[in-house]
Amino acid sequence: MIFKWLIFGVIVYVIYAIFFKDKSIANSSSSDKKDKDSEEMVECCVCGTFVSSKEAYIKNGKFYCSKECMQKG
């Protein structure tokens, strides 16, 4: 009788591991993807235009949207 309950418990655990643990791993990887895809927007200190941090020009620790604004600042 105890052996049957042990087998039943193992089967329940395997079903839980297959269906529920895999979803939590998939959700965490999709949230990591969202973090990688998002870009930080920074404001140009001369004209106030927002540009992505990857496209911004940086001079003396300040962000600029273009070379023209960088020369003005």
Name the helix (H) or strand (E) containing 2. helix 2-16
Cβ–Cβ under 8 Å, residues 43 and 27: no
In a shared domain, residues 45 and 59: yes
Name the helix (H) or strand (E) containing 4. helix 2-16
How many domains would you assign to the chain?
Answer: 2
pTM score, whole prediction: 0.49
The amino acid present at 19, given as its one-letter code, is F
Domain that holds residue 33: 1-37
In a shared domain, residues 33 and 7: yes
In a shared domain, residues 25 and 43: no
Confidence label for 33 from pLDDT (cuts 50, 70 and 90): low
CATH number for the domain spanning 46: value is: 3.30.60
In a shared domain, residues 24 and 45: no
In a shared domain, residues 12 and 31: yes
| Per-residue model confidence (pLDDT) at position 30 | 56
3-class state of residue 52 by DSSP: strand
Mean pLDDT in residue range 22-34: 55
| Portion of the chain with pLDDT greater than 70, in percent | 77
In a shared domain, residues 17 and 48: no
Q: How far apart are CA 22 and CA 16, in angstroms?
A: 9
